[in-house]
């Protein structure tokens, strides 16, 4: 912070100093940030602390109303925190207007200027920063090439399809080479196929340009497939921060377990039985790691971790089929086992072969059962 | 025209009913036409006499002429009233467009209860009867020492045209996507540059429409002008004063010209306002409201 305040110019690109090669420096830091909107009684953002590192693709995932967009808007400078601090590159940005922050946003509705051609839209940030004319031309062409929009540069926004507008908005936000790119559900308005295509393109783009992306979404698929790390938010606070794999396989809270993917959730206990740590979930018992805390807890087991054959896991239990739900590419089979209903994800053809009330053996790996506090 | 087929079936009742229906629709049409006759006959009449080759304003038609249009230039008092009135209106348009747009932007960017209060304060002068506004301005100007003449009339006209511009521009402003201003700020433009590069270009047509409306409103205003004019009359005041002596056909000619020009201006103004609503807002607005849920 001190160095930054000494030199009026922007500090050098982070991540090149090489002080800690394993952990790049923090670009965006939330320091116990809360936000209460005027006239609101509850906090939209409630005590969020978060470090976003240079060059990473960071997603903030949560249902609507979880405060994720508020967090993004506070980074951009459209909203001010009610308490706490936000640091961009180590500098407290309280009171710094959006146009003096080295951060650009891709808006949900793209917010392309309707009276300007795509070219004029993309050159806008450069013109506002009074970049030299020849450099503007060069960088606009370069950036439009990056998003494969060179041929459409003379068009106006209303002459473009949703996907093209999306790419134009991306180009406009990237052309100024901001330290951080903020994306507010940028794929929300696109249809499914285009969305999946854009997911890949976005991830690739982020790797190519090396700019830190902060991506807000309510779509777990997007967050899981693109992020280096992600935060899961609910009712204004952060439930868990981690890599997609950590968040998916080791949810910290029942909310995360329930929100991401589909999981069997239930209450049980962990006890010590003749030297071994054992979990009890209804009538099902299974060994747990020796360092697992004892006492009542919640358990989570992913649908796809439950198998309908007895050989697939180390724990096999007998139960009866309660219901089979056909999902197209797969089936969800609900099996009643000793007071617990376990849902298994099975190939569709296996689901077809089952009937309600039929006895069946299901199995799972004890190591895939996650113990959750609360 | 389904009545013939209907009356084929059970004869008496239905045909009575259909006859009544015809009579009723005739009355409806007659009333409808009467309203239009009432509205347009005077306009057409004055137009006809403008081309009538006679100084007497009565039928029968005594031949087609354009001499009354030529006579406008020769009538010194009429011509100076026309040019004076035009200079008043052009000044009013220039000032009202700028001030009205400024008010609209201020009202639009204010938060809380302020917009409602500000807007009401701007609009009230436009709602107050012209007589009240004219008289109170005349008294005030006399107290302050503003002489009756060009500037007193201009100020008087601004009192009711600035609200018009404010309302037209504000309507457009409220329809603009707020994320566009945010995007502009996000991309490095401060408030002024955002207004200049993003907001103003999208207001241009609304301001143009408001200016055209202001021009027609100011040009034929009588009541307020009557209280504020000095020795030089505006065109409507001059025409009104002439009617007391029985007016000459060149007045028919100039009124016809003004009528035609104002109709054209108003059509342009409404077209501009309508077109403005359409091209950008069409898709964008729909999408916005869907997201709003």
Cβ pair A176, A126 in contact under 8 A: yes
pLDDT over threshold 90, residue B59? no
The ipTM, to two decimals, is 0.78
Is B280 within 8 Å of A114 when comparing Cβ atoms? yes
Q: Do A176 and B185 touch (CB under 8 A)?
A: no
Residue that wins the pLDDT comparison between A321 and B270:
A321
Cis peptide before B60 (omega within 30 of 0): yes
The predicted structure's pLDDT at residue B180: 94
What structural domains and CATH numbers belong to chain B?
14-67 (no CATH), 75-278 (1.10.3720.10)
How many of the other CB atoms lie within 10 Å of CB of A301? 25
pLDDT digits (tens, 9 = 90+) for A111-152: 999 999 999 999 999 999 999 999 999 999 999 998 889 999
CB-based contact B185 A158, cutoff 8 Å:
no
pLDDT at A230: 95
* Encoded tokens for B197: 């590069």
CB of B188 within 8 Å of a chain A CB? The answer is: yes
Looking at the whole model, is its pTM more than 0.80? Answer: no
In a mutational test of the B interface, the residue from A65, A75, A103, A114 whose CB has the highest number of chain B CBs within 10 Å is A114
For residue A321, CA distances in Å to A332, A353, A354, A357, B145 come to 11, 11, 8, 5, 97
* Range from A110-124, A296-310, B46-60 carrying the lowest mean pLDDT: B46-60
- The answer to whether the CB atoms of A128 and B180 lie below 8 A apart is no
| End-to-end CA gap in chain B | 46
Q: Is the pLDDT of residue B2 over 90?
A: no
CA A53 – CA A51 distance, rounded (Å): 6
In chain B, residues 261-290 whose CB comes closer than 8 Å to chain A: 279-280, 283-284, 287-288
Q: Closest approach of chain B CAs to the CA of A109, in angstroms?
A: 8
Which residue did the predictor score with more confidence, B198 or A348?
B198
List the beta strands (DSSP E) in B85-162: none
Contacts of B186 in chain A (CB under 8 A): 76-78, 98-99, 103-105
Span A235-290, pLDDT tens digits: 999 999 999 999 998 898 989 988 888 888 889 999 998 889 999 998 899 999 88
Report CB contact under 8 Å: A113, B190. Answer: no
| pLDDT at site A71 | 95
Q: What is the mean pLDDT of residues B56-75?
A: 78
Q: What is the pLDDT of residues B145-183, one digit of tens each?
A: 888 888 999 999 999 999 999 999 999 999 888 899 999
Per-residue pLDDT of B249-293, as tens digits, reads 888 888 888 888 888 887 887 777 666 544 333 333 333 333 333
Which of A111, A158, A173 is the closest to B177 by Cβ?
A: A111
Q: What's phi and psi for B114, nearest 5 deg?
A: -55, -45
Which helix H or strand E contains B102, and what residues bound it? helix B76-109
A160 pLDDT higher than 70: yes
Q: Of all helices (H) and strands (E), which one includes residue A180?
A: strand A180-184
Lowest pLDDT segment from A157-161, B112-116, B120-124: B112-116
pLDDT digits (tens, 9 = 90+) for A166-196: 999 999 999 999 999 999 998 887 888 888 8
Give every CB contact of residue A231 below 8 A, 6+ residues apart in sequence. Answer: A50, A58, A59, A60, A61, A238, A240, A241
Q: What is the pLDDT of residues B181-206, one digit of tens each?
A: 999 999 999 989 999 999 999 998 88
Q: Which structure tokens are listed for B213? A: 């409306």
Nearest to B175 by CA among A203, A345, A3, A114: A114
Q: Tell me how close the Cα of A98 comes to any Cα of chain B, in angstroms.
A: 5
Does residue B63 carry a pLDDT above 90?
Answer: no
Higher pLDDT, A59 or A372: A59
Is some CB atom of chain A closer than 8 A to the CB atom of B183? yes
Strands (E), chain B: none
pLDDT > 90 in chain B, percent = 27
Mean per-residue pLDDT of chain A: 88
- Which residue from A357, A359, A327 is spatially nearest to A345, judged by alpha carbons? A327
Q: What six digits make up the tokens of A16?
A: 């090149």
Q: Is the Cβ pair A107, B182 closer than 8 Å? A: yes
Give the count of Cβ contacts less than 8 A between chain A and B: 75
Confidence band of A374 (pLDDT split at 50, 70, 90)? low
Shortest CA gap A202–chain B (Å): 20
Are B202 and A99 an interchain contact pair (Cβ–Cβ within 8 Å)? no
Verify whether the Cβ–Cβ distance A109 to B280 is below 8 Å: no
C-alpha to C-alpha distance for B237 and A237, rounded to whole angstroms: 71
pLDDT at B10: 54
Q: Name the strands in the sheet holding A229-234, side by side, starting at the edge strand that comes first in the sequence.
A: A103-106, A180-184, A212-217, A57-61, A229-234, A237-242
Query: Which tokens belong to A108?
Result: 């949900």
Nearest CA to B103 among B128, B131, B124? B124
Nearest to A76 among B186, B280, B284 (CB): B186
Is the pLDDT at B1 greater than 50, yes or no? no
Contacting residues for B237 by C-beta, under 8 A, at least 6 apart: B81, B222, B225, B226, B229
Total length of chain A: 374
Nearest Cα residue in chain A from B289:
A109
Residue among A114, A115, A125 minimizing CB distance to B187: A125
- The answer to whether residue A157 scores a pLDDT higher than 90 is yes
Calculate Rg over the CA atoms of chain A.
Answer: 25
Measured between beta carbons, which residues in chain B are less than 8 angstroms from residue A109? 177, 179, 284, 287-288, 291
Position B186 scores a pLDDT of 94
Interface residues of chain A, partner chain B, Cβ below 8 Å: 76-78, 97-99, 103-105, 107-109, 111-115, 124-125, 128-129, 158, 172-173, 176, 189
What is the rounded distance in angstroms from the CA atom of residue B60 to the CA atom of residue B142? 50
A328-356 average pLDDT score = 87
Q: How far off is chain A from B277, nearest CA to CA, in Å? A: 13
Asked if B183 and A109 come within 8 Å (Cβ–Cβ), the reply is: no
Q: How far is A128 from chain B, CA to nearest CA, in Å?
A: 6
Which domains occur in chain A, in start order? 26-249 (3.40.50.300), 262-372 (2.40.50.100)
- CA A169 – CA A187 distance, rounded (Å): 12
Q: Which residues contact A282 (CB under 8 A, 6 or more apart)?
A: A266, A268, A337, A338, A339, A340
């Amino acid at each position: 912070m001190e160095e930054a305040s000494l030199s009026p110019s922007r500090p050098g690109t982070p991540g090149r100093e090489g002080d800690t090669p394993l952990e790049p420096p923090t670009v965006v830091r939330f320091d116990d940030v809360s936000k209460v909107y005027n006239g609101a009684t509850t906090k939209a953002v409630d005590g969020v602390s978060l470090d976003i590192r240079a060059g990473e693709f960071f997603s903030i995932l949560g249902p609507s109303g979880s405060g994720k967009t508020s967090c993004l808007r506070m980074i951009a400078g459209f909203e001010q925190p009610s308490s706490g601090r936000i640091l961009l590159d180590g500098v407290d940005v309280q009171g710094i207007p959006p146009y003096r922050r080295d951060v650009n946003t891709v808006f949900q509705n793209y917010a392309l200027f309707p009276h300007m051609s795509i070219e004029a839209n993309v050159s806008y940030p450069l013109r506002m920063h009074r970049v030299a004319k020849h450099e503007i031309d060069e960088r606009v062409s370069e950036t439009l090439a990056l998003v494969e929009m060179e041929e459409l540069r003379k068009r106006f926004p209303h002459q473009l399809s949703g996907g093209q507008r999306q790419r134009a908005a991306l180009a406009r936000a990237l052309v100024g080479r901001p330290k951080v790119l903020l994306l507010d559900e940028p794929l929300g308005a696109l249809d499914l196929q285009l969305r999946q295509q854009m997911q890949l393109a976005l991830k690739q783009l982020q790797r190519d340009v090396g700019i830190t992306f902060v991506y807000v979404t309510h779509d777990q698929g997007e967050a899981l497939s693109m992020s280096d790390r992600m935060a899961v938010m609910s009712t204004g606070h952060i439930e868990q921060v981690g890599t997609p794999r950590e968040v998916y396989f080791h949810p910290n809270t029942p909310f995360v377990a329930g929100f991401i993917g589909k999981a069997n959730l239930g209450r049980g206990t962990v006890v010590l039985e003749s030297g071994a740590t054992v979990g009890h979930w209804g009538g099902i018992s299974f060994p747990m790691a020796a360092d697992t805390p004892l006492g009542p807890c919640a358990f989570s087991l992913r649908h796809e971790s439950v198998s309908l054959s007895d050989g697939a896991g180390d724990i096999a239990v007998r139960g009866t089929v309660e219901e089979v739900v056909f999902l197209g590419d797969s089936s969800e089979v609900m099996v009643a086992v000793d007071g617990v209903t376990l849902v298994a994800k099975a190939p569709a053809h296996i689901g077809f072969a089952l009937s309600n009330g039929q006895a069946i053996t299901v199995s799972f790996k004890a190591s895939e059962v996650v113990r959750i506090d609360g | 025209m389904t009545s013939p087929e209907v009356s084929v079936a059970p004869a008496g009742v239905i045909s009575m009913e259909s006859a009544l229906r015809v009579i009723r629709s005739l009355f409806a049409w007659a009333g409808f036409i009467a309203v239009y006759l009432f509205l347009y006959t005077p306009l057409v009449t004055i137009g006809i006499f403008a081309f009538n080759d006679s100084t007497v304003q009565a039928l029968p038609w005594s031949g087609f002429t354009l001499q009354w249009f030529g006579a406008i230039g020769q009538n010194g008092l009429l011509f100076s009233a026309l040019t004076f009135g035009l200079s008043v209106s052009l000044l009013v348009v220039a000032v009202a467009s700028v001030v009205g747009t400024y008010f609209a932007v201020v009202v639009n960017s204010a938060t809380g209860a302020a917009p409602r209060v500000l807007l009401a304060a701007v609009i009230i002068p436009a709602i107050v009867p012209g007589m009240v506004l004219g008289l109170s301005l005349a008294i005030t100007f006399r107290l302050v020492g503003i002489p009756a003449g060009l500037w007193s009339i201009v100020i008087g006209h601004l009192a009711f045209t600035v609200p018009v511009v404010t309302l037209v521009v504000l309507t457009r402003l409220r329809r603009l996507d707020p994320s566009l201003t945010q995007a502009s700020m996000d991309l490095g433009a401060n408030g002024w540059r955002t207004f200049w590069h993003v907001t103003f270009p999208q207001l241009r047509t609304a301001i143009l429409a408001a200016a055209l409306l202001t021009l027609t409103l100011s040009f034929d205003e009588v009541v307020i002008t009557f209280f504020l004019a000095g020795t030089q009359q505006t065109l409507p005041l001059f025409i009104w004063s002439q009617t007391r002596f029985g007016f000459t056909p060149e007045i028919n000619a100039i009124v016809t010209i003004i009528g035609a020009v104002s109709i054209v201006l108003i059509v342009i103004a409404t077209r501009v306002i309508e077109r403005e609503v359409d091209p950008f807002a069409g898709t964008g607005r729909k999408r916005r409201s869907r997201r709003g849920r």
